[in-house]
Structure 1
Amino acid sequence: MSVKISGAQLIRVCTVLQDCADQLAVLGNIMPDTYKGRPEADMVVGADISGVISQHKEAEQSLRTLRQSQGESGSVAEAVLELHKSHKELNRTMETSPLSPDNLAKVQRDRHFLAQVITAVLAELKEKGMFESLLLAVEEEKRKKAHLLDIIIREEEGRRRTKALQRQLQDIRKEKTLELQRLDEMTAHLKDQLQEMKVKTSLERKYVKSSTELLVFQGQKLTTHKEKSLEDEIKLLRDKMEAERRVHMEMEIFLKQNQSSLGEKLEYWMERYEKDMEDKQQELNSLKHSKASNLSQLQDLARKYRESEQVVMESRLEKENLRKMLEREQLERDASTKIQSWWRGTMVRRGLGQYKKGKKGKEGKKGKEGKKGKKKQK
């Protein structure tokens, strides 16, 4: 927000601004671009450049002189420093030349912008006594400067990225160069191998051709020999066929001659066969009759054998039963004897029955009688 100016302060501000506008107008008239087309323009700029170049040459000459005379290290260092300074001065003079198009255009733009702002502010002060246009111009210039700064930052970032990409491109170029060298070496190696293969193939072709010709010659020779052997074999087979034909004719004549005699022999043997068959049939019938009679006799003998075998088995069973009965009776007698002996011994030991204990005489008598009885039983 601007403050309204009035009175003497407004007059002073307007006077200062008017003076600035006049000075800018004068500056526009004395700018170096007004020297264009004039002969003194080159003299104005050339004088400065010639002075700087002469200083640079003097510094180079002094450095060369010191090196030739091999002076002290301090003098050489001072001469080198002087040479660097003259070189920088030359570069700055060339860059800030008043006749360079960039410098002239920038100065003209700034002067024109400042003249417009001052004129607008002066008119606003005269009309309203305020300077809002100045504030707006300052804000607009700040915005443009910020935008320009952003552009510069982005340009620097782009330059850095461009440099990085250039380095990557350089690395890729180096890699591709190395790869191309490797491929060239591989190509040369493959060409050498191809040449070797061509030579080897040529030698193999010659060898195969010579071996093929040799094989063909050998084949022809073997074929000729085989043809000759086959012709000899054909001749031999023809002779054999002729001999076989003669033998066949003779055999046919012989067989025809013997056919009649064989027919008579066949009739004779047929009659004999029929007669022998009748005789053998009669013999077979007699054998069948004798077989039937022998079979009946065999059946009678088998029946008698079964009857005899049954009688023998019954007799054996009776004898076995009798033996078992006698053995059982003997066992019973032995068992009864043992039981009686055991019982008597028990009666004697326990003094039962007639063996009861009494007086000594009686006991002695009874003992003797008991002993006698035992002896008798034994």
Structure 2
Amino acid sequence: MYLSRIQSLRQAAVLEDCSDQLDILGLTLAVQMEKEQGPAAEQEKARLTKLMRDCQCASQQVFKLHSELQEKQSITSLLQVVEEVEQRKKAEDIRREAKTELEQRIQTLQRQKAELQQKKETLEDMSLLKLDLNYQLNAQSSRMANVEKSMALQVLRDTSQAEGQLEDQRELLQIQLMEEKKVHVRSVEFLQSHQEELQQQLQQWQQRTRQMLQEKEQQLNNVCCKRTVTLDRLSEMRRKFKEMEQVVMEEREEQKRLRREQAEAKAATKLQAWWRGCMVRRGLGSFKKADDKKGKKKKKKEGKKTKEGKKAV
């Protein structure tokens, strides 16, 4: 990028001022480093040395740019520095992203390793549990075999005792069956008598319900007859009401017509009287001759009066 002579001189003056300020800043940092003492000042010295290095780099770049402006009137070195800084930033970002991605992968691998270790421990526990269960199963099977043998012997003993008990129970059951048969016969007789009574009551109730149904049907028929009669009356009254309403409406229409005709006649008479008055006042039509005669008579009278007045004078 090339600049004009005036622009380059202005930029060179600004850069000289910047280089002077950077030199002053470097001297102040050096003086401050010399003042720092003690174990706590190591970190501050490291920070100050870093600042000094930055100031030196900036002053070098400013010197290069100043010389370029004076010689070539361009700022290509500044653009190159900016590009280098941007590339450095991009490389730093890429390194940072790669580092974070590597850390995430390490964390995932550690997590997977911990899960595998946990699964391995659970498998070992399950294998130990399997061995324990197999041992318990073998012991249980041996116990069950001994119990089966003892149960078989006990069953043989119990069967011999049960046969004697069964004979006694058979006799008791036969006695109980005889008693139950007697009770059954008595209960059947009682139920038959009770059923007969219930059938008689049912017949009585059926007769009562038939009578009640007949009475209700008769009442319903009477109500239906009354309803038909009332409906006929109502329809007749409606018909009469419609006829009366029609007569009333016709009467109202007739009265309205008569009032309208009377109003029209009155208005016509008023209009005729007004028109006749106008004709009379203005002497139009048939009223014109009578007005002329009256005017001539008035003129003659006035002439006579004037003559008599002259004579008197």
TM-score, normalised to structure 1, is 0.31
Q: Which has the higher contact order (CA 8 A, sep 6+)?
A: 1
The structure with the largest alpha-carbon Rg is 1
